[in-house]
Amino acid sequence: MQRLVILGGGTAGTMVANKLRRRLGNADWQITVVDHDDDHLYQPGLLWVPFGDIEAEQIVKPRQRFLPGGVDLVLGEIERVDADANAVVLAGGRHLPYDYLVIATGVSPRPDQTPGMLGAEWRRSIFDFYTLDGATALREALASFDGGRLVVHITDMPIKCPVAPLEFTFLADAYFRGRGMRDRVEIVYVTPLPGAFTKPIAAAHLGSMLDDRKVVVEPDFMVERIDTDTKTLVSYDEREVPFDLLVTVPLNMGADFVARSGLGDELNLVPVDKHTLLSTRHANVFALGDASNIPTSKAGSVAHFSVEVFADNFCQHIAGKAMTASFDGHANCFVESGDGKGLLIDFNYDTEPLTGTYPLPIVGPFALLQESARNHWGKLAFRWMYWHLLLPGRRIPLPAHMSMAGKHLPVKEPQS
Amino acid sequence: MTVASIAGTTVHVDAEGFLTEYDEWSEYLAVQLAAGIGIELTDAHWKPLRFLREDFRAEGQTATLRRVSTLGGIPIKELFALFPGKPAKKMAYIAGLPKPHGCV
């Protein structure tokens, strides 16, 4: 009997369990999923919580419900992985030996990593929205906000769903307009990147979206600390951004057990081959979803497409064959832009988001890099698809590899 | 992508002048690129630049300031002093690497 242990029962881990349970015979393979609780959170839904457009029970369901028969769910804290001994050690001392290990424990916001963030103003005037507690608390804060300076802030890259802070900004603009008080709210977008849009074609097509909404962008801002007395973000080069209400995306880090096990980089992300997701150090350890260091967005979409590629590869790998499938870094994300509209972006390691259309039978095509109501409805419909098709590992008519069909090729600049 | 001539060397660059081919970079070229944005390279500048070059070769992406600080052992404040205003962008430019970017 061979043993596959999957750490994390989130998007990636649940899909892996479903896809591999079908392919690996029950008599030959034991599959175990480990997580610290039984609450599966549909993370894209968090975006709507602060605006009162979704309820917690719509985005949290028991993990167990999405795991197939023949997969054991173990609830417990992971103390460490002993990769040399091929065993996971849980808090309390329980050992889970494995033949193959999948690390899919994602990343978490870490407000403790920025001095002052977890101080007296945390959840009073400083909020995050990447946790259910944070998004729920922010809902109260937005409802009682009577004007002033709202600062939307990214601590550092990489973060989960890198477009979410932009989406939050667009939705906040629409929300305050809806309440007839937009003129009393100053919105500032603070980013460590050189701008809100950094890819040339996206920047050319979307660059005015923040200007149009009278959002001020503060680029190249690396926060060093938050001064809670004066309610000010202070950067390493001593720039200051004061706020009345701060919505921050704290530093994202992989799980602490990854660091304790000596398996991570400086952000506790597991170094892997970006095409096979196999650990660069251990031939029986893979990292999927946000937990790895692959150079593409940390997003459920990436988890989905990479798991499809991984499932084929895994069966070859355990048979001692070379892995022939190669993940291309494909991601495909709806971007909410307010007022019932949205954008769609589709890209991979080598191709930046382009304009054009994304073909899809019956419900498509979806406009790329362009606002449309259909994109908004696509995003809303995805929640149903997530619970009913994606997590159970059913086939979805979205190819794992990026396709150029419908995309406009950028015009080559003349060679000088 | 266009072709530019920097100090007599022909290199491929993007619309903002960032080198697009890892192997077209040289330390000599870095000195010229730095001078072009008003920076005279000292030993203190070379330490993070060499870290970035090595790290990119291994990781396939430009290291963040936090990574340069944590793994390269250079405080972020010092990076701001060495490459004023936009250290991440300026270091990538001089090191012949892609500038830091998001997904859009």
First to last CA, chain A: 63
B31 to chain A, closest Cα gap in Å: 23
Contact, A237 vs A209, CB < 8 A? no
**Residue A13, in any domain of the structure:** yes
Any idea which residue has 């993990």 for tokens?
A: A63
Contact call for A416 and B2, based on CB within 8 A: yes
Contact call for B103 and A220, based on CB within 8 A: no
**Residue A226, in any domain of the structure:** yes
B54 to chain A, closest Cα gap in Å: 15
Q: What is the pLDDT of residue A229?
A: 97
Tell me the one-letter amino acid at B14. D
Q: Which residue of B has its CA nearest to A296?
A: B103
- Reading the block at residue A70, the tokens are 């023949």
Is B103 in the active site? yes
- The whole-angstrom separation of Cα A120 and Cα B39 is 41
- One domain, residues A115 and A101: no
Give the domain CATH number at A308: 3.50.50.60
- The whole-angstrom separation of Cα A175 and Cα A230 is 27
- The whole-angstrom separation of Cα A332 and Cα A347 is 7
pLDDT > 60? residue B8: yes
**Residue A60, in any domain of the structure:** yes
Q: Domain boundary at A265, A286, A318, which?
A: A318
- One domain, residues A117 and A237: yes
Q: How confident is the model at residue B4 (pLDDT cuts 50, 70, 90)?
A: confident
Name the residue facing A197 among B4, B100, B104 (closest C-beta).
Answer: B104
Q: Is A280 helix (H, G, I), strand (E, B) or coil?
A: coil
- One domain, residues A125 and A231: yes
What is the count of structural domains for chain B?
A: 1
A224 to chain B, closest Cα gap in Å: 9
**Residue B54, in any domain of the structure:** yes
Interface test with chain B among A161, A163, A236, A274, by most B beta carbons within 10 Å? A236
Q: What is the pLDDT of residue A230?
A: 98
Q: What is the pLDDT of residue A360?
A: 85
- Reading the block at residue A224, the tokens are 């060093």
Contact call for B85 and A416, based on CB within 8 A: no
Q: What is the pLDDT of residue A415?
A: 45
Tell me the one-letter amino acid at A285. V
Q: How confident is the model at residue B99 (pLDDT cuts 50, 70, 90)?
A: confident
**Residue B85, in any domain of the structure:** yes
- One domain, residues A51 and A127: no
**Residue B52, in any domain of the structure:** yes
- One domain, residues A247 and A152: yes
What is the count of structural domains for chain A?
A: 2
Q: What is the pLDDT of residue A416?
A: 42
**Residue B10, in any domain of the structure:** no
pLDDT > 70? residue B60: yes
Residue ranges for chain A with pLDDT beneath 70: 411-416
Q: How confident is the model at residue B92 (pLDDT cuts 50, 70, 90)?
A: very high
- One domain, residues A218 and A248: yes
Contact call for A236 and B77, based on CB within 8 A: yes
**Residue A404, in any domain of the structure:** no
**Enclosing domain of residue A19:** 2-108+253-318
Q: What is the pLDDT of residue A160?
A: 96
Q: Is A195 helix (H, G, I), strand (E, B) or coil?
A: coil
**Residue A77, in any domain of the structure:** yes
**Residue A352, in any domain of the structure:** no
Q: pLDDT tens digits, residue range B11-39? A: 999 988 999 999 999 999 999 999 999 99
**Enclosing domain of residue B88:** 25-104
**Residue A74, in any domain of the structure:** yes
Give the residues across from A278 on adjacent strands: A286
Strands A100-103 and A60-62 turn out to be unpaired
- One domain, residues A162 and A279: no
Q: Domain boundary at A289, A318, A347, which?
A: A318
Average pLDDT over residues B57-61: 87
Give the domain CATH number at B67: 1.10.10.370
Contact, A247 vs A138, CB < 8 A? yes
Is residue A388 classed exposed, middle or buried when 0-12, 13-18 and 19+ CB atoms within 10 A define those classes? exposed
- The whole-angstrom separation of Cα A115 and Cα B25 is 38
Report in angstroms the alpha-carbon separations of A281 from A40, A231, A253, A399, B51: 30, 44, 20, 30, 21
Contact call for B60 and A295, based on CB within 8 A: yes
Q: What is the pLDDT of residue A203?
A: 87
